[in-house]
Amino acid sequence: MTPLVRSVRSADTLTRDALAVLQPGFTGTTAPDWLLRRLGEGLVSVGLFGRNVADPAQLAALTGRLRAEREELLVAIDEEGGDVTRLEVRGGSSFPGNHALGAVDDTELTRAVARELGRRLADCGINLNWAPSADVNSNPANPVIGVRSFGADPQLVARHTAAYVEGLQSAGVAACTKHFPGHGDTAVDSHHDLPRIAAGLPTLQARELVPFRAAVAAGTRAVMSAHILLPALDAEHPATLSPAALHGLLRAPEAEGGLGFDGLIVTDGMEMQAISATYGIERGSVLALAAGADAICVGGGLADEGIVLRLRDALVRAVREGELPEQRLADAAARVRALAGRARSTGTGEGAAPAPGIGLTAARRALRLTAAGPYRPLAEPVCVAAFTPLANIAVGDETPWGVAAELARLLPGTETATCTAEAAAAAGTAALVDGLLTAAAGRRLVAVVRDVHRHPWMADALHTLLAARPDTAVVEMGVPQAPPQGALHLATHGAARVCAQAAAEALTGRRPSPDE
């Protein structure tokens, strides 16, 4: 009977370890029964998304219910602030994103913003944030990073990444620095395809890896891998599945050219096309664990019990068939459990003093104004022409952006006309602009753009509009790569709600009273 007892015990341990390395999501604002049951069976992490958040009280109740089932639990969220927000997915973030903080270049401000963001997360029972983005925005055509990066200078990105990590973790929330080894030099979104970075290892060491070294030195508790192919490291496997990238570079001692990271390695979402369309989620998860990852992030798209069971069973099967060493799975599960025990949320932000206005303060400081000449502040209702690109998946299309809502608070009666690439293609640029001029009906115009340098249709329409109405003010809410245009040009360095508020204040020359 002894061999049978050992077999049962081994099977139970293996199953619990397989569950422990998963970071799944779910739908709804309350915990489903299946999730609570799996927590009792060994699941140690849960990922939250915008669909799970209604308000802080609801979120605190949800995380409290999860911890009633398992006290030492990692509750993770993708809350970068700025364009990528889950806490304020339907209203826009109270914090500017990385690009705005990089534009100010005050590490104490970055630290303070991250601390306040962490305090709010901790108060809601969240103790792992899939942030900050440490990517160097070295490719202006990048369709997925952009304003999520602190900037294009590796040293600037490094010092702000370190400050962000320190600020966030001072509030009791573990940082997960991403997207290792750097997603900035890509022209492809890994949500849709597998990006390839041709840079050699010396370039990676001097550029992409600089912020990650700073994050490790600052004590980041976790690092998230990127689904990108870097032939200088591994000609066959993307970084998430590459032993050379994870074990050989991220884990390797500094004396051997590595980063010497000893914390938790988390994968980016495994349902992203860069992995799922090439390897499949089950196969990809096995390869990621074998390469050195410790936690498998899934749930942004696939968020039911079925995916949890599929991945659990795939990992167990891989161990039994000799494809995944049992000790590798056990070590990964131990790392997850160790961080869950260390990062247990107290719900108080570990005493971080509230700083409710810090986000707006940072957004105001990040604003850059360029005037072609004397500019008369807006005093009457205006027409806002919103040039709207297709949102990338990381940002999503639920979160509102633009300045119309904030201008309408200051100038009631302000209206909006939305312009898209589809409309420009269907009607033509001239007809599109004629429609805007008709909608304006003689009122002053404010054109709002987002990464105009990446969208030829947007640049053409803006040029035509400014030729017809040179008194138009332009607000760039993406990366201000294109030369300033318009009677007044404002660069907000991001599309967070507070960035819009700062821009509206600058356009009108006044700030709203507290009761407005």
Catalytic residues: 191, 268
Do residues 51 and 28 lie in contact, with contact meaning Cβ atoms separated by under 8 Å?
Answer: yes
DSSP string computed for 370-427: EESS--PPP-S--EEEEE-PPPPTTT-SSS--SSHHHHHHHSTT-EEEEE-HHHHHHH
Residues 493, 81: Cα–Cα separation, whole Å: 13
Do residues 143 and 127 lie in contact, with contact meaning Cβ atoms separated by under 8 Å?
Answer: no
Nearest to 98 by CA among 115, 116, 80: 80
**116 Cβ contact partners less than 8 Å away, ≥ 6 residues apart:** 95, 171, 352, 354, 355, 356, 358, 359
**439 Cβ contact partners less than 8 Å away, ≥ 6 residues apart:** 383, 385, 415, 417
Residues 456, 69: Cα–Cα separation, whole Å: 52
**323 Cβ contact partners less than 8 Å away, ≥ 6 residues apart:** 286, 290
Residues 385, 465: Cα–Cα separation, whole Å: 10
Residues 272, 276: Cα–Cα separation, whole Å: 6
Backbone angles phi, psi at 490, to 5 degrees: -115, 130
Residues 284, 139: Cα–Cα separation, whole Å: 27
Residues 28, 36: Cα–Cα separation, whole Å: 14
Q: DSSP code of 510?
A: -
Residues 66, 344: Cα–Cα separation, whole Å: 12
Question: Which tokens hold the place of 14?
Answer: 């293996």
β-sheet bridge partners, residue 311: none
Nearest to 239 by CA among 261, 222, 255, 223: 223
C-alpha of 207 from chain center: 20
Handedness of CA 415, 420, 422, 423 (dihedral sign): positive
Residues 235, 241: Cα–Cα separation, whole Å: 12
Handedness of CA 161, 167, 168, 170 (dihedral sign): positive
**258 Cβ contact partners less than 8 Å away, ≥ 6 residues apart:** 248, 249, 250, 251, 252
